[in-house]
């Protein structure tokens, strides 16, 4: 039986994929749990134009998928997927349907833009060379994001890093950095009355100031975790989500 008729929607970050949320199936029992690969990421080879804003196209794709859900919605954003938050909160339909908002290591201000800002400022040639190395060394990249004792999970969760459209990623990163720097995400978080949970790792908690944290109804700091708490510490991460949405 589905509890409270709630659908929990998970959004992956830049260069990520829906498989980063695979462990959700072992937790949040009784809830409908859904995640999608964005256009150009993972196995999603849907049409997307580089001549139009990438984030708007992704939003239209997501909206068409999510409106099929008849239940109330809980949105879970990881990392840079927070750029969709202003679009959802300005949409008449979603403003009424979203019951809770959860950010997992979510990018809200320029303090969290270290990697995405760096790649967005690269020339096309430098970016392509960097991404080639990125895909070739995806295990090493993921190793930097997981705490040491969880390195045994590398192969399972890093493989998705090899599968994304490089051109889409480059344009996505540029648009995303611009949105975060313009404070659109932060303004949306401040303005909405929907209850909000921030989940951050102990490793990166310094990136989230006390000033920023006060805009959330609850903040959970996950120990023994890097940028992917849902992989490093799934029990603590999904447990925090369940307590918040009950």
Q: What is the pLDDT of residue 144?
A: 56
End-to-end CA distance of the chain: 15
pLDDT at 169: 87
What mean pLDDT is reported for the chain? 87
Residue 90: CB atoms within 10 Å: 12
Res 154: pLDDT: 54
pTM of the entire predicted model: 0.89
Residue 196 pLDDT greater than 50, yes or no: yes
**% of the chain exceeding 90 in pLDDT:** 59
DSSP 180-234: HHTTHHHHHHHH--SEEEEEEETTTGGGS-HHHHTTSSEEEEESS--S-HHHH-H
CATH class of segment(s) 3-245: alpha beta
**CB neighbourhood size of 184 (10 A):** 17
pLDDT tier for residue 87 given thresholds of 50, 70 and 90: very high
Q: Would you list the domain boundaries of the chain?
A: 3-245
User: In which band, very low, low, confident or very high, does the pLDDT at 19 lie, cut at 50, 70 and 90?
Assistant: confident
Convert the pLDDT of each residue in 143-195 to its tens digit: 556 665 555 555 545 555 555 778 888 899 999 999 999 999 999 999 999 99
% of the chain with per-residue pLDDT over 70: 86
Q: What is the pLDDT of residue 142?
A: 58
Residue 68 above 80 pLDDT? yes
pLDDT of 101 reads 98
SS3 5: helix
pLDDT at 78 (0 to 100): 96
3-class SS of residue 68: coil
200-238 residue pLDDT tens? 999 899 999 999 999 999 999 999 888 889 988 999 999
Q: What average pLDDT score do residues 19-46 get?
A: 90
H helices of the chain, in order, are 54-66, 85-89, 92-97, 114-120, 124-136, 138-145, 154-158, 166-181, 184-191, 210-213, 229-232, 234-245
pLDDT given at position 141: 56
pLDDT digits (tens, 9 = 90+) for 122-150: 888 888 887 777 666 655 555 556 665 55
């Amino acid at each position: 039986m589905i509890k409270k008729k709630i659908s929990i929607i998970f959004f992956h970050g830049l260069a990520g994929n829906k498989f980063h949320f695979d462990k959700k199936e072992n937790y949040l029992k009784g809830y409908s749990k859904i995640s999608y690969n964005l256009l150009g990421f993972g196995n999603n080879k849907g049409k997307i134009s580089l001549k139009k804003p990438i984030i708007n196209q992704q939003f239209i794709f997501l909206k068409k998928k999510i409106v099929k859900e008849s239940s109330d919605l809980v949105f879970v954003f990881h990392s840079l997927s927070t750029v969709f938050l202003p679009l959802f909160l300005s949409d008449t339909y979603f403003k009424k349907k979203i019951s809770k908002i959860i950010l997992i290591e979510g990018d809200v201000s320029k303090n969290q833009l270290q990697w995405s800002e760096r790649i967005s400022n690269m020339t096309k040639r430098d970016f392509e060379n960097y991404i080639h190395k990125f895909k070739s060394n995806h295990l090493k990249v993921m190793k930097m994001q997981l705490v040491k004792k969880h390195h045994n999970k590398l192969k399972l969760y890093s493989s998705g890093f090899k599968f994304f459209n490089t051109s889409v990623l480059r344009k996505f990163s540029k648009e995303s950095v611009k949105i975060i720097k313009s404070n659109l995400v932060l303004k949306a978080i401040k303005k909405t009355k929907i209850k909000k949970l921030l989940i951050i790792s102990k490793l990166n908690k310094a990136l989230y100031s006390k000033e920023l944290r006060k805009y959330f109804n609850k903040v959970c700091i996950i120990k023994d975790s890097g940028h992917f708490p849902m992989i490093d510490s799934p029990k603590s991460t999904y447990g925090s989500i369940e307590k918040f949405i009950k």
